[in-house]
Structures are given as C-alpha cells and as structure tokens.
Homo-oligomer: A and B are copies of this chain.
Amino acid sequence: MKIKVAVLGATGYAALELLRILHRHPSVEVVAATSRENTNRLDEIHPSLTGWYSISCENLGPKDLATRGVDAVFSCLPHTATAAVAPELLELGMKVVDFGADYRLNDAAVFNKWYNVTHPDPERLPKTPYGLPELFRDAIRGASLVANPGCYPTSAILPLAPLLKGGYVASDEIIIDSKSGVSGAGRKPSMKTLYPECNESIAAYGVGTHRHTPEIEEVLTTASGRATSVIFTPHLTPMDRGILTTAYARQTKEASEAEIIAYLRDFYKNEPFAQVVDALPTTKDVIHTNRCHMTARVVKGRVITISAIDNLIKGAAGAAVQNFNLIYGLEETTALL
C-alpha cells in the first residue's frame, strides 16, 4: 500500500521538481495538491507533468487533508504559513517535510528578527531536526517533522562543516560567495527576474542581509561545536538552476590541499549524494541530480572550498524526498538516482 502524500503550495518550481520525483517513487501516491488561489489541473500549471497527474489544485486545510487519508505532507508554503498549520497536521498524525525556513533555526527570536515576524510555533523549533541527512541522519530517521535546509546553506555547509569539525579552518571570518540560478527566486512575475533584466547579467544581492546567513551560522556551529560567523554574499546568475559556492576560510591546521581533499572524501565516503572531487566542480555536473560535488584548494593560508548543487533538487525537492525516505525507513536513495 502506498503512502498518501499531499503537496502544499504546488504551483512553484520546487513543487514541480517534487512532483516529478514523486511520480517515479514506487511507494508514493500523490492524492492532493493545494494552492490558495489556483484551481487548475496540475498539468495546466506545469505542462511538463501532462499525463502524469489528473488532480487539480485545491484550497485545503489540515482537516481536509486528513479526510483524504493523507499520510505525509510536503509543504512548499511561504514562511510562517507552514508553522501556522504544522501543529494541526502533526496532531492529525501526518508527517511533515517543510521546504521553508519555519523550522530550520533553533531560536525563535533569531527567526523573528531576520524574518521580521512572530513565529507561530516557537516551541517546536529546537526539537525539529535540520534535514541535511549527511550531517543529521539519525535525528531525521523516524521524525514527524523535518526542516528541509535552504539551498544556499546546503551548498555552504556540506564542505565547511567537516573542515570546521576537523579543526582545519577558523570559525570566524568565513567568506561565502555564492552564485545561484534564477529559479531560486521563485515562480512569481517580478521585475528582477524578468528575462531581459537578468539574462546576460550577473549581480550580487542581499549583501550582508540575506536570511540564509543565520541558518548557515547556526548549523555550522551545531555541526562543528564551534561558534561560527560568516559573511554571505549571494549572486543572481543567468542560468535556470544550480548554485556554486566559493567559500574562503582561514587555515588553522597544517595540511596540504591533497590531505584536505582526502579528509573530505573520507568524511563523505558512504554518502550517495555528496561527492568529493579533485577537479573544480561546475553546476552543470550536478543539475537535475540530488548530488553535491565539492572540492578544496589552499591559497595563501586560506582553504577555499568550491561546491555545487542543484538548488531545486539537493537544495529543495530532492533533499525533501531524501528526508521523507528516512522518515519512513525507506531506502534513502529511492526515486533520487
């Protein structure tokens, strides 16, 4: 018998990737898709799904989902919207994987400050596992609610966490310079992401103010046990998808480039979705996959890590299914190869 799944907020790009992955998932049946306004069929909203899904978007609340027999919910709702319904969903016995930021941080005060809101469900924050299985697999396994990581944090944390943990780099003054494809900005008409505005152009944005900053800092701190501070600069890059993160950290332990790469490779040796490579990774190597490619270089006393992911898959929908598989005790790679 299949696990009955609902997708909340099914009109965006991450939801589309999720629906593609779920279509291949042998243990899943998608029984509902929600939207507050859109009532079209899924294949009208996402023509690439033609023939795969016959359902339409509906405006459904937790009780409606329970009535449909939904077992698990993937929520692609905007921030605070998931936390507004998660308590009821969980009480009704559903599992929840949240694509948004609502449960990523431990401290509601930090959330409230960076997101300029009041968190609707603050108690659950410190108890909710951060859905990066490569670092927090045990906590995710069997959880009821998982906070899917942000796309930039995934790309930055995967190479940096082991180096911090191993004492290879200093935990202050880490500079993270990230370049993301435009799908990261979402599927809403906007001047900034109008094709002729951002095509053939690259630009920084949110310098010093991007909300993924506290997430990166907190998770690196948790994962390494050392209070970590970062400067994070995202750039809008003229491509659909993919994030390349170049991070600069001061080296604190004598080690050659080869030794650092070997250490990372060993750290991730059993991971199906974290590949340590020798050559410099490109986003093209990983787009349309759930994998992170990463490597390191040593230059003038700095360890430079370069890592690449697909922001919509390893940075969103793929990670969500990876977490879902862990929650249900399924093979972690199901539908993700």
Bound-state Cα–Cα, A240 to B188, Å:
20
Contact between chains at B235 and A179 (CB < 8 Å)? yes
| Smallest CB separation, A323 vs chain B (Å) | 21
A19 to B: closest C-beta gap in Å: 13
Q: Does A285 contact B (CB under 8 A)?
A: yes
A302: chain B residues at CB < 8 Å are 175, 231
Q: Which residues of B contact A221 (CB under 8 A)?
A: none
Chain B residues lying within 8 Å of A248, measured Cβ to Cβ, are 175, 231, 248
Among A48, A182, A193, the one with the most B-chain Cβ atoms within 10 Å of its Cβ is A48
Most B-side CB within 10 Å, residue of A47, A240, A281, A302:
A47
Asked whether A198 and B201 contact (CB < 8 A) given A233-B246, A293-B47, A300-B231, the answer is no
Which residues of chain A from 156 to 203 have any CB-CB distance to chain B below 8 Å in the complex? 175, 177, 179, 181-183, 187-191, 193-203
Closest to A302 in B: B231
| A34 interface hit (Cβ, 8 Å) | no
Would you call A204 and B244 a contact (CB within 8 A)?
yes
- Of A194, A197, A202, A240, most buried by chain B (CB within 10 Å of CB) is A202
Q: Are B47 and A285 in contact (CB under 8 A)?
A: yes
Residue A277 at the chain B interface, CB threshold 8 Å: yes
Q: Does A318 contact B (CB under 8 A)?
A: no
Bitwise interface map of A from 260 to 278 toward B, beta carbon under 8 Å scored 1, else 0: 0000000000001001010
Closest to A13 in B: B196
Whole-angstrom CA separation of A203 from B198 in the bound complex: 18
A325 to B201, CA, bound (A): 29
Nearest B residue to A296, CB-CB: B207
**B337 and A200 form a contact (CB under 8 A):** no
Q: Is the CB of A187 within 8 A of B195?
A: no
A208 adjacent to B300 (CB under 8 Å): yes
Assess A201 versus B284: contact at CB under 8 Å? Given A51-B275, A207-B299, A275-B50.
yes
Report A215-269 residues with CB < 8 Å from chain B CB: 229, 231, 233, 235, 237-242, 244, 246, 248
Contact A240 B194 (CB under 8 A): no
Nearest B residue to A301 via CB reads B173
- Whether A282 pairs with B201 at a CB distance below 8 angstroms is yes
* A246–B235 CB distance below 8 A: yes
Q: A128 within 8 Å of B by Cβ?
A: no
Q: Is A283 engaged at the interface, CB distance under 8 Å to the other chain?
A: yes
Closest B residue to A184 using CB positions: B196
Q: Does A297 contact B (CB under 8 A)?
A: yes
Tell me whether A18 is interfacial, beta carbon within 8 Å. no
Q: Which of A281-332 contact B (CB under 8 A)?
A: 281-289, 291, 293, 297-300, 302, 304, 306, 308
Q: Does chain B have a CB within 8 A of A85?
A: no
B299 pairs with A231, CB closer than 8 A: yes
Determine if A282 and B187 form an interchain contact, defined as CB atoms under 8 angstroms apart. Answer: no
Q: Which residues of B contact A293 (CB under 8 A)?
A: 47, 50
Cβ of A4 under 8 Å from chain B? no
Give 17 CB contacts A-B under 8 Å: A175-B175, A175-B302, A183-B196, A187-B191, A187-B196, A189-B189, A189-B194, A193-B195, A195-B198, A200-B239, A200-B241, A200-B284, A201-B284, A202-B244, A204-B280, A231-B304, A235-B246
